[in-house]
Homo-oligomer: A and B are copies of this chain.
């Protein structure tokens, strides 16, 4: 069973927003056993929209459209679909109108004509409630194939997808797809490929391997199987192959599927019933953000001091002012004191500290942009590493954050 995702809006084509919607939709479809054949982004242009719906219906049974349903003049999707599916009239969908009213009340703003119009839908569609926004979703059918149009606001779309997936399950007899991913950090893709070559060549032909490298999560190895007969034996088979892989890659493997380095470190901390703190200079709170993005992180994370100014390094983390003078803020001495200081100031057994030159300015010959010192403090000791990363600020921030979390993870493992 194939689907296509079509996102509508100039803002994607001029690169003004990152399209996270289609990523989420693709995840949900795949989990439901629907393969995404193609993702397409096009502008709010009648002809281009119709061309793509026609094309997508030739390759796929399901088309999911997001965007172009806003209240404003540049949003034409609803009109184009009404025409495409031969609507006779627009009908006000009362349940949607009620939601729009209550949403406007909640933000204390009187209903206007624009709001009311959003509840008007083509009479040939099945309306799907949007509980979190003013633009309802629409379900259209043609020769048994389905087109669903949803608003582009991410959290509205996500809630609607929860209703759409079971609707699709009822309409189609779905073939299952199974994916499982093993997460590795610290081995470059090409080296990894050599190291697991033999394992890879011995894989059963119905298992498809993909390498997914990413600076913040390392190289993820995904095994996929399509057209599954015996799901349980397949799951067992994939698990057995991944067990072999774990033996080859050892501690480079940090998790499965949707885990991340912060979750992996968090699990190890909880096993030790220990708490973590961070002291961040160049990463500016990004590590704390990566940790607290995960629900339940309060079980192992006490907090962070983002010590952007030297004052804060000295006053809040107790770094020795003369050492900052002598060695500079980006130095082994200072980053180690930051880590120790964080353990004490933030009541934690373990701490991570970073101090570096994220760029674009502040580099020198001895310490070029991308130079980062990272320390991990434990109840027993403090270890530190120097890395020279990239020229780009955001790359340096995310790479330094990932390296720091992985250093902590490996330290927690080695302690065992």
Set B39, B188, B308: member contacting A292, Cβ < 8 A: B308
**A350-373: which have CB < 8 Å to B?**
358-361
A220 with B20: CB separation less than 8 A:
no
Residues of chain B lying within 8 A (CB to CB) of residue A27: 14-16
A176 near B: Cβ within 8 Å?
A: no
A79 near B: Cβ within 8 Å?
A: no
Residues of chain B lying within 8 A (CB to CB) of residue A132: 390
B345 with A315: CB separation less than 8 A:
yes
- Cβ contacts A5-30/B at 8 Å (1 or 0 each): 00000111111111110111111111
A271 near B: Cβ within 8 Å?
A: no
- Cβ contacts A210-240/B at 8 Å (1 or 0 each): 1111110000101010000000000000000
B72 with A312: CB separation less than 8 A:
no
Set B16, B38, B107, B316: member contacting A212, Cβ < 8 A: B16
> How many chain-A residues does the 8 Å CB contact rule pick out?
111
B114 with A194: CB separation less than 8 A:
yes
B298 with A308: CB separation less than 8 A:
yes
Set B224, B288, B309, B394: member contacting A306, Cβ < 8 A: B288
Residues of chain B lying within 8 A (CB to CB) of residue A35: 13
B40 with A39: CB separation less than 8 A:
yes
**A140-184: which have CB < 8 Å to B?**
153-155, 158, 179, 181
A114 with B193: CB separation less than 8 A:
yes
Which residue on B lies nearest to A152, using beta carbons? B213
**A68 shortest CB reach to chain B, Å:** 11
**A213 shortest CB reach to chain B, Å:** 7
Which residue on B lies nearest to A361, using beta carbons? B295
A189 near B: Cβ within 8 Å?
A: yes
How many identical subunits does the complex contain? Answer: 2
Docked Cα-Cα span, A280 to B393, in Å, equals: 23
Docked Cα-Cα span, A275 to B310, in Å, equals: 13
Which residue on B lies nearest to A298, using beta carbons? B308
Docked Cα-Cα span, A115 to B298, in Å, equals: 43
**A354 shortest CB reach to chain B, Å:** 11
Residues of chain B lying within 8 A (CB to CB) of residue A212: 11, 16-17
Docked Cα-Cα span, A153 to B43, in Å, equals: 26
B23 with A20: CB separation less than 8 A:
no
Which residue on B lies nearest to A7, using beta carbons? B39
- Cβ contacts A188-212/B at 8 Å (1 or 0 each): 1111011000001000000011111
**A202 shortest CB reach to chain B, Å:** 13
Set B17, B25, B303: member contacting A312, Cβ < 8 A: B303
**A312-333: which have CB < 8 Å to B?**
312, 315-316
B285 with A347: CB separation less than 8 A:
no
Q: Given A155-B395, A291-B284, A392-B155, is A112 in contact with B12 using a C-beta cutoff of 8 Å?
A: no
Give 24 CB contacts A-B under 8 Å. A13-B36, A13-B39, A14-B26, A14-B179, A15-B25, A19-B22, A38-B48, A39-B42, A40-B40, A40-B41, A109-B191, A153-B215, A155-B215, A155-B395, A280-B285, A285-B292, A298-B308, A304-B304, A305-B305, A306-B306, A311-B346, A316-B316, A316-B345, A316-B346
The 4 closest A-B pairs by CB, nearest first: A284-B292, A285-B288, A15-B26, A15-B27
